[in-house]
C-alpha cells in the first residue's frame, strides 16, 4: 500500500481547495443569473444582490481566506460577464461579499478577534466620511447607518462565548447569527465605500446632502433584507454543515463548535 507523505497531503489539499474555489465561484455566478435583486432606495443603479448571502457559506466551508477569495472571484465574474457587463455602479461593492466570507470564516474558525477588528475598523472609518462629518452636526446619520451594524458586531461575543448553547439541536440559531453578522459586515463595507466622495460624486453624481438623506431612510429597509439573507443562509448552512462535519472538506477540523463539543461528556 502506498503511504502518503506530508508533502503529498499538502498537494492533495491544495488541489482540492483550487477545485472548491472554482466550483463555488461558478456557483456564485449561476446564482447571480437566477436570483432576484433588490434595488437600493432611490438608486436603482445599486442592486442588492441576494445571491451575495452565499458568501457566508463560503466562509464556513472554505475558511476566511479561501472563502473571501472565492466570494471575490464569484462577484467579479458576475460583475464582468452579462448581465453585469462591468457596470461602474457595481464596481465599488465588489469587496462586500468577500468581507462577509472573511468575517464569517474568522469567527467560525476560532479567529474571531480578527473578524471583530475588521468589522470595528469599517464602523470607525465610516464615522470619518463626509456624510457624517462634522459628527457633532450629523451624528444622526451615523446612528441611522450604524445601529444595526453595531448590534451585529456585538453579537460576535455571544456567538463565541455561547456557541455550545446556540448550536444546540440543529444549530439553526447559531448559523443564523453568524450569517447575520457576515451580511452586516458586507453592508458595512457598502455603506462605507458609498460614503466616499469618489463614489457618491464621481460615480453616482450625488451631493453629500442627498447621500445623508439616503442614509437616514436606509434603516427602513436594509436591516430587514439582511435578516432575510441570514435566514436563507441558515437554511443552507444547517444541512450542509451537518453533512460535511467530520469530513476533510471543511477548511479545518477545529471550529468554535468542535471546541465546545469537546467539553461535553460522551454519552
Residue 154 has pLDDT above 80, yes or no: yes
Question: Angle, nearest 10°, between helix axes 54-80 and 222-244?
Answer: 110
Check: pTM over 0.85? Answer yes or no.
yes
Question: What tens digit of pLDDT does each residue of 105-134 get?
Answer: 999 999 999 999 999 999 999 999 999 999
Distances in Å between the alpha carbon of 108 and those of 19, 53, 207? 22, 16, 40
Question: What tens digit of pLDDT does each residue of 207-265 get?
Answer: 999 999 999 998 888 889 999 999 999 999 999 999 998 888 888 888 998 855 544 44
Distance CA 115, CA 49 (A): 23
Q: What is the pLDDT of residue 13?
A: 55
Top pLDDT among 58 and 33 is at 58
State mean pLDDT over 69-83.
93
Q: Could you tell me the three cell numbers for 190?
A: 457598502
Contact between residue 45 and residue 200 where contact means Cβ atoms under 8 Å apart? no
Question: What tens digit of pLDDT does each residue of 54-64 get?
Answer: 999 999 999 99
Question: How do the residues of the chain divide into helix, strand and coil, expressed in percent and rounded to 5?
Answer: 70, 5, 25
Amino acid at each position: 500500500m502506498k503511504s502518503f507523505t506530508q508533502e503529498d497531503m499538502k498537494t492533495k489539499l491544495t488541489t482540492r481547495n483550487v477545485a472548491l474555489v472554482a466550483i463555488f465561484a461558478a456557483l456564485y455566478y449561476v446564482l447571480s443569473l437566477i436570483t432576484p435583486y433588490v434595488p437600493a432606495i432611490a438608486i436603482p443603479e445599486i442592486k442588492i444582490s441576494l445571491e451575495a448571502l452565499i458568501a457566508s457559506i463560503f466562509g464556513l466551508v472554505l475558511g476566511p481566506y479561501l472563502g473571501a477569495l472565492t466570494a471575490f472571484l464569484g462577484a467579479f465574474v458576475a460583475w464582468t460577464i452579462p448581465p453585469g457587463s462591468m457596470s461602474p455602479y457595481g464596481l465599488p461593492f465588489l469587496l462586500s461579499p468577500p468581507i462577509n466570507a472573511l468575517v464569517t470564516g474568522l469567527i467560525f474558525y476560532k479567529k474571531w478577534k480578527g473578524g471583530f477588528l475588521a468589522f470595528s475598523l469599517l464602523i470607525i472609518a465610516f464615522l470619518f466620511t463626509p456624510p457624517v462629518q462634522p459628527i457633532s452636526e450629523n451624528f444622526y446619520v451615523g446612528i441611522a447607518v450604524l445601529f444595526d451594524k453595531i448590534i451585529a458586531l456585538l453579537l460576535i461575543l455571544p456567538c463565541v462565548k455561547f456557541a455550545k448553547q446556540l448550536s444546540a439541536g440543529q444549530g439553526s440559531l447559531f448559523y443564523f447569527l453568524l450569517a447575520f453578522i457576515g451580511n452586516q459586515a458586507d453592508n458595512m463595507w457598502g455603506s462605507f465605500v458609498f460614503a466616499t466622495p469618489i463614489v457618491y460624486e464621481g460615480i453616482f453624481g450625488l451631493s453629500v446632502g442627498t447621500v445623508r438623506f439616503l442614509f437616514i431612510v436606509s434603516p427602513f429597509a436594509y436591516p430587514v433584507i439582511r435578516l432575510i439573507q441570514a435566514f436563507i443562509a441558515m437554511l443552507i448552512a444547517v444541512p450542509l454543515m451537518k453533512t460535511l462535519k467530520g469530513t476533510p472538506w471543511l477548511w479545518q477540523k477545529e471550529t468554535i463548535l468542535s471546541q465546545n463539543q469537546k467539553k461535553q461528556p460522551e454519552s
